[in-house]
Amino acid sequence: MKWRGYRSFPVFNYNRLHHQRRFHFATFLRKIQPAEARASLGSNGGKSQDNSFLVPGATAATILMLGALHIRRLYDDKKNEEARSKGVELEFHPDVKAKFLRLLPLRSISRFWGSLTSMELPLWLRPHVYRAWARAFHSNLEEAQLPLEEYASLRDFFVRKLKEGSRPIDADPYCLVSPVDGTVLRFGELRGPGEMIEQVKGFSYSASSLLGANSHLPMTAAGDANEESSPEGNTVRVATQNSWWRISLASPKVRDTGSSCPLKGLFYCVIYLKPGDYHQIHSPVDWNILVRRHFTGHLFPMNERATRTIRNLYVENERVVLEGNWQEGYLAMAAIGATNIGSIELFIEPTLKTNNPQKKLLHSDPADERLYGTGVLLKKGDEVAAFNMGSTVVLVFQAPVVDKSEFRFCINKGDRIRVGEALGRWSY
């Protein structure tokens, strides 16, 4: 009997098949790419080839994120427009979503989104992604300082600079200008006990909780405690001598306003930046920054729905507060982070890092505070900071309120405003 040799069964080689699939997918991409795109990819060397398979996944995730954000924005805009057309001012009303958001790892999600948007996009794909973003969120690409191909990543595109002259700064010395492009949410004068800032109709938070317990926020006079507060009102209030004594201790450059300046009122303005807005923050006046405080916190969304459903939204979110003085007294500016916008870049302190990983988030932890010594002098319109997407800026400042020098806002709630345009004026 003749023995026949054993015929081995074929062995399934998963690694080889996976490699072939990757090869065919890469070949397909090369076929659909323009010739100049293939040339640019080929000139990057072996390192680019090793990372070429990561690009499609990041690009697909980016496109899906843009689509989801756009659909949600359209839905929210429609609901808000219907409410405004009926003359209804939406009130504070907590819901289940607000409680659910507290269970989500929003800080980790924001760090992942930051890593995703920092990935370098192929040269041929950049204009298409940025134009898609501009169509979805109404960005003006004509104002971009550089050609779209020169923004290597979405993050670079988000914090892009504008062409010279795109944001003229109001030169009136008796004028405070907007530090950002955005929508005016709230403004008014802070009076009465606690100096409360209205988050939405039916809920407010104190200015001191936003700026920090160690802030040099001027206190209202006792006589103002019984006065009614109006969000857009401009009535006379008196700053106590104790508040100015506290500020004088903070910096020898602050002058004794009680003898050389008219009486001051304390005002605030809240401006919301949409994802499609210009994301850099500029100086609203000539001022001297004395202190920087960084508050770790949550990264809840900062949209209109969130302001109506999350208590102390501005106080609970991570934020960077700059505090100092200007020609009319006290001035503070708070840049508040949000979901996917955990990174707040401070140009006057590039080493500051926000949204750092933490084992446990405790609001009882003190703010990270840095004193700038004699201060950092900025001119009106100077670049101060930048968001990686859009969020909210809150200004708290003193201004004259006596006789002809009374400060008056020249904006309305819901107005669209741009960097350099006047928020309010006064005269001497």
Catalytic-residue membership of 391: yes
DSSP per-residue letters across 302-351: -SHHHHHHSTTHHHHB-EEEEEEEETTEEEEEEEE-BTTB--EEETT-TT
Nearest to 187 by CA among 142, 217, 229, 157: 229
With beta carbons less than 8 A apart as the criterion, state whether 203 and 311 touch: yes
- Could you tell me where the beta strands, DSSP code E, fall in 162-228? 175-177, 182-189, 196-200, 203-206
Name the catalytic one among 178, 181, 277, 298: 181
Catalytic-residue membership of 24: no
With beta carbons less than 8 A apart as the criterion, state whether 384 and 281 touch: yes
Q: CA-CA distances (angstroms) from residue 131 to 29, 59, 153, 266, 275? A: 21, 14, 13, 42, 14
| Cβ neighbours of 53 (radius 10 Å) | 12
Q: At which residue do the structure tokens 């900025």 appear? A: 378
Interior CA angle at 246 toward 241 and 252, to 5°? 105
CA dist., res. 414 & res. 186, Å (int): 8
Name the catalytic one among 216, 279, 282, 298: 282
Residue 353 backbone class (left: φ over 0; alpha: ψ -120 to 50; beta: rest) = beta
User: 236: part of which helix (H) or strand (E)?
Assistant: none
With beta carbons less than 8 A apart as the criterion, state whether 395 and 268 touch: yes
CA dist., res. 427 & res. 405, Å (int): 5
Catalytic-residue membership of 282: yes
Name the catalytic one among 110, 139, 215, 391: 391
With beta carbons less than 8 A apart as the criterion, state whether 170 and 177 touch: yes
CA dist., res. 398 & res. 332, Å (int): 9
Catalytic residues: 181, 282, 391
